[in-house]
């Protein structure tokens, strides 16, 4: 499953899930510009979620982790400026 969301505080989130045995792992890429797909992005930061039972849960968990990381950015960051490593 793949999903692009945003903008959230000027950033876009490209999230997807990968099957890992009987569960799924969600991944999110934080981007300063809206990507064409989750695979073709200029990444600011990559994040991984915990495993989940379904693809949707894995994608949602990865998106939430990315939103928390974006929300924790210091005030004054410009969305066109790479914030460096986001806390995961």
CB 38 within 8 A of CB 6: no
For residues 68 and 37, what is the distance between their CA atoms, to the nearest angstrom?
22
pLDDT digits 0-9 by tens, 7-57? 999 999 999 999 998 899 999 999 999 998 888 888 787 888 777 789 999
9 burial type by CB count under 10 A (0-12 exposed, 13-18 middle, 19+ buried): exposed
Q: Residue ranges per domain, the chain?
A: 2-71
For residues 14 and 27, what is the distance between their CA atoms, to the nearest angstrom?
8
Which pLDDT score is estimated for 53?
A: 82
Which pLDDT score is estimated for 16?
A: 93
Would you place residue 75 in the very low, low, confident or very high pLDDT band (cuts 50, 70, 90)? low
Indicate whether 80 pLDDT > 60. no
């Amino acid at each position: 499953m793949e999903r692009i969301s945003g903008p959230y505080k000027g950033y876009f989130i490209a999230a997807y899930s990968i099957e890992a045995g009987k569960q799924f792992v969600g991944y999110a890429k934080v981007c300063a510009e809206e990507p064409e797909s989750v695979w073709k992005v200029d990444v600011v930061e990559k994040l991984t979620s915990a495993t989940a039972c379904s693809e949707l849960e894995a994608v949602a968990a990865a998106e939430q982790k990315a939103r928390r990381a974006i929300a924790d950015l210091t005030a004054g960051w410009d969305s066109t400026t790479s914030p460096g490593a986001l806390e995961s």
